[in-house]
Structure 1
């Protein structure tokens, strides 16, 4: 019986690689609450919103996951341009991801479905949010014998 290929966790790979690239920025999938959120700014939240996995078949065991992410960049509202500048940094780093790897997998491709855009927060929250939709393809890590 063949050993099943375990697909990598694309969200974890995205968070790990962006965290390594964005010094001084909290990259997470869950926002801190209350005062902890404000204290953590700037913050990038990565949420998986879809994407499918594919396998090439029995003769070629290569498999990959193609997650799509909603990526939100948060900064203090008092610094009007900070969230947009953070979003542009994320986009620039995203372009550099193909070929990068973590223990969980390798990024084989990326896409940008929507560029940075305003995603207004509730009034009087004290934060500005800019978001975009990004995609990537990831393969399991290479195993060397």
Structure 2
């Protein structure tokens, strides 16, 4: 399988007529490690959110292997781990996992993976040490 190549081109982001990002270009290939450096508030996290698809901007062109993608999170094309918690209060782990699991085996999944005890917990209250045997 060929390596995946992500290209992000011409990203432009403005807040209140202030240009935060202008003509940003990034290209990276699967397996590469890229550092994104800058002062507080210069748009590093915003750029990642734009690539993922959770933040709209004035303009951007994002492609994977030359194929334009509208939102990175569609079809699990791009994953993103934000720096701050963004989960709604009170959400259960079972609700978070639902879109990731084949619905035909959902009811058996906790038994298969021995995770029934954690699917009713909230992510913030869950601690691995409490359930390790």
Task: Say yes or no: TM over 0.5.
Answer: no
Structure holding more helix per residue: 2
Give the TM-score normalised by structure 2.
0.30
Of structures 1 and 2, the one scoring higher in RCO (CA 8 A, sep 6+) is: 1
Structure holding more strand per residue: 1
